Structure 1
């Protein structure tokens, strides 16, 4: 069967399909942890954290790493058997500063109550600055190698004046900062599976009128039947080989079906053909390759 006939059959078979999505393909993939070596640890224990807020951060990190690829082991058993140890220190400072702010106030009113003269006065105010810094490190216990060592700074500044009060207490600000630091650490150590949408390329500039119409029909088809649209774009290569929108969209199709190596090549070819958005897409597909490789490595290490 000729390519054009295949394309026509694809479009006809999808005409009755339902759905209401934009011109995108939905992709689900696993992205690697930012700190890949630390993410390979099978078990970790959270050790002592120095500073007044250290114990609270230690508990927050334990909670953040629960339900991840790590087995989080506590107590003496954790110290003796965990493959990695997490420790650190937290310093917190609160600085209160007095200052004045100029404000206009009515000094004289007319009989009808309207202000006829204003004067500028100074009102007393307070500025509160909360600085926190958490130094965190992870050591692999088998050889003592430091796999992760990061400083996590936090600063919050708020002001209020006479007859006002701060919108949050010091305790609330510090608690929020500790949660954010723990979640940031999880983000650095734990791989994540995302489901996201990639918009297909719609430009048909430079194509013949007939080919451009078939290309547009396939773009619309993604709302109802993405696999059929991908099959149609594949068939369209006989007429528009190397066309940037076509090559990019074939890359999206490859990414959607999990063929990330093919996606990287197609996105790179799309960039060479003039589809600049292929750079970001190629980087994403490269990260998906790393995420898949890391998942296999973790499975291998766990036997």
Structure 2
């Protein structure tokens, strides 16, 4: 189905709802002036909390530089841009919007609780909190800031809807991108069947269902089981995106240090995170995730070696033309 038939209008509606939700949260924050109860430095860490390095740069990095956004930019954004000159405005505004959402989430999970003890109850174990903490904390702020005009339950429903719509749009975009990739496989390897959009869609959706059932069983918790690997793969993809941009800049004889240095850091940390997870997944007996992680590490190394070779080749060509 063409982007402009379903994805674009629905994403537009979701975007409007997201902005309305953000305006509501920020307005009530300024009115209520909630106090941040979360500690600036939390030294009372729950058991099994992983090391700060590389986890911090993988999780926070997903908001700062995202490989998924690199795919979206080439797979869907490029199909909706009227003029190339509009891309800078769209990209900068998108980054600002995501930053605003990230800040709202931080405020909700750090200032949306009555006391430090209540905050510690929510985050008593590593992995707790998440979207429920954002919804409950944000609902408390919105309810207090509105002077009770919006009940806590109503505010929680609004924020839940905002989060669900955001996740739904992301999932739809991800499946569409996966279908593009399957079709590209058909073009590259000459598999005519995979070029069919309906077959490619079935393969993309089928792969998602298979992983969900295989990892989580009938209760469909496979997505949550696979989630720990998302940050790592997202950052590896971000590093690859920066490397591709570096190759393009070399061909255009433009400076590459602005993309090459971040690429080296992001890729190194992401690979360390993937390798770090191997031992953890093995100890927990999560062999499906272990196999996926091994494939990710091997694939990332192979792709990076190939891309690095292309970068060196283009650097030599560029130097010879000077």
> For the superposition of Structure 1 and Structure 2, which TM-score range results when normalised by the shorter chain?
under 0.3
Normalised by the length of structure 1, the TM-score is 0.26
Q: Which has the higher helix share?
A: 2
Query: Larger relative CO (CA 8 A, sep 6+): 1 or 2?
Result: 1
Larger radius of gyration: 1
Normalised by the length of structure 2, the TM-score is 0.25
Q: Which has the higher strand share?
A: 1
